[in-house]
Amino acid sequence: MTKIGLKTKITGIVSVLKKDGKIHLAKCIEENWNKTAFEYSKQLNFWRPKKAMESELESAFAAELERLEFDAMSKEEILFSLKKRRILQTAPHLGLTEGPRMLCINWLGSLGVPEKEFYVVGMFSGIPFSNRSRPGRINRKKEAINLFPSTMQDALVYRAKIPPKIEEKLNTLPVKLTKFLPQAVPGASYTKWALQACQHTERRILNKNNLVYIDINEVVANYLVQVLRNSAHVFHKIFFDPKIRKQFMSVFPREIMFYTPVLNGKYEDMENMFFGDEGSQSLKGKNKEISLGNPEILIEEIQSGWVCPSLLLTFIALSFLNQFKCFGSFAQVEYLPVYQEKLARLPFMKIFKIESIMTSNLTTGVFPDGIDTFPADLIIHGENLKQKENWLFGELLLPIRSSLIGSYFTGDQRQNGNK
């Protein structure tokens, strides 16, 4: 396709997005479609935070790296890079194998990262296994092998355990793929196993050893356990100071604060937890209630894994309190500016200079020469990824035109189930 032809098609996409009110997504595309993938990635990977990372967040990142068994030297190098660069890829959901779009996203996001730095992917585990990303499956073009029983299809991925009899299913997979998977021990952490597997395969496919995959919900949970004990911290005030909580709820009415696993008979499920009605001293879900009268009650719930931090809590901690520049897909570039605008209205958040944070950092697309490029298939068939740093960003966007236009998040209105 000629550049003029590409421009015409991109202009059409931008026009529809603007008409639909997706102004941030439209702007990202309009301003960057004509840049090469490498140029755009270099631009994305430039960021100069104005304040130091909170020690509690650094400790939380360290705990997650230890959980994932990074050696001491690697852990220190990754932490140093995180503190300095303050950049995270936050588009992907946590799963064992990714699909074509998330592979392209990680290729694009990592292109502009210097070899001595780290491209850290904060995968989101606050989703059910029934999520459209299929986090409990070996995702392939022609088939997807489900590793979880029907009783767990709506279970929360966060803190999930590897199911029994998984070895029987893994034994049906080609050796070329299973050699990249750590040993699966029933009852052990599924997220740890999935993150290590995803990291191994994508390091191999993208030929990069500086890719690091972590569970960002684990990080934020570890962080909250620490800061909620500090009465001067803003998160402590949001949860335990009635006056501050009332202000927070005035701009975030009925906002999800946590996800929690529940058991419906033999079926595992998840539900959302919100602040109770004004005057209430609790978090409430359909089947669960947590008192906010004593901070240790909520802290124990988080520490034990009975609640998982929500999307809003995650980005308050990362973007707005610790100045992380978070790369995201087409939904994130719309909802993160909405969070920003609402938080900036709160008097108790003024000291954090919310307005200065970059919130629309679009990474999305699929490879023009391989719209059905699944990481698992590349490994199984021994194929090399077709990639060109001089592809225009607009070329990566054209194959997902319908997804861009149909994305669910316009302003703060959720329309369907994509993240």
Q: Which two tokens stand for residue 227?
A: 């800061």
Mapping DSSP to helix (H, G, I), strand (E, B) and coil, where does residue 261 land?
A: strand
Confidence of residue 418 (pLDDT cuts 50, 70, 90): very low
Average pLDDT of the chain?
A: 95
Q: Report pLDDT for 417.
A: 39
> What average pLDDT does range 68-91 have in this prediction?
98
Q: Report pLDDT for 409.
A: 65
At 330-378, the pLDDT tens digits run: 999 999 999 999 999 999 999 999 999 999 999 999 999 877 899 999 9
Place of tokens 């990303």: 133
Q: Report pLDDT for 369.
A: 81
For the chain, the C-alpha Rg in angstroms (whole number) is: 21
> What average pLDDT does range 100-119 have in this prediction?
97
Whether 414 shows a pLDDT value over 80: the answer reads: no
- The ranges assigned to domains in the chain are 1-34+391-409, 43-228+313-384
Q: Pick from 220, 217, 213, 226: which is nearest to 317 by CA?
A: 220
Mapping DSSP to helix (H, G, I), strand (E, B) and coil, where does residue 16 land?
A: helix
> What average pLDDT does range 291-305 have in this prediction?
98
Q: Which two tokens stand for residue 217?
A: 């919900």
Distance CA 291, CA 121 (A): 34
Whether 144 shows a pLDDT value over 60: the answer reads: yes
Angle at 341 between CA 241 and CA 133, to 5 degrees: 95
Identity (one letter) of the amino acid at 244?
A: I
At 229-282, the pLDDT tens digits run: 999 999 999 999 999 999 999 999 999 999 999 999 999 999 999 999 877 899
Which residues, in sequence order, are bridge partners of residue 269? Answer: 262
Q: Report pLDDT for 210.
A: 98
> What average pLDDT does range 10-37 have in this prediction?
97
